[in-house]
Amino acid sequence: MPDCAGEAIPCQAASGRIQLAMDETYVNVKGVWKYLYRAVDKAGATVDFLLTAKRDRKVASRFLRKAIEHNGTPKKITIDKSGANTAMIECYNEGRDARIEIRQIKYLNNIAEQDHRAIKRLTRSNHSGPPPRRSPALS
């Protein structure tokens, strides 16, 4: 196991590849609702993040490429049941020898999910989802 004490990069497994948990949440930033994509390591430290207006496969793929560019290809990624997250990893794996293992185990992704609480507290968001839609007749 490499000695990672005092380094700014995440500690990697003996194989040289890290394990990540990735998730997204909806946050209010200066009155505008945005999606915050985050990748955290086993210790819960944020490895990478992306703040965006959309939540789809294209944005998720951009986030994965960015995280890999800065931190290397992970051995495993734990995600929730989001279709965009699954599609981004499957798209990345196409035509590559070093495949990323997808883990969709609810309780293993808790490390990413639990940190959302602190982020939402920092952004002063007291609402966990998008604002309610109003019908045109009420506007």
> What pTM value is reported for the model?
0.65
Task: Give residue limits of the domains in the chain.
Answer: 19-122
DSSP string computed for the chain: ----TT-SSPPPPTTS--EEEEEEEEEEETTEEEEEEEEE-TT--EEEEEEES--SHHHHHHHHHHHHHHH---SEEE--S-HHHHHHHHHHHTT-SSPPEEE--GGGGHHHHHHHHHHHHHTT---SSPPPP--TTT-
Q: Which fold has domain 19-122?
A: Nucleotidyltransferase; domain 5 (3.30.420)
How do residues 33-74 score in pLDDT, each as one tens digit? 998 888 888 887 888 888 999 888 888 888 888 888 888 888
How do residues 68-119 score in pLDDT, each as one tens digit? 888 888 899 888 887 788 888 898 898 888 789 988 877 666 666 666 556 6
How do residues 3-15 score in pLDDT, each as one tens digit? 444 444 444 444 4
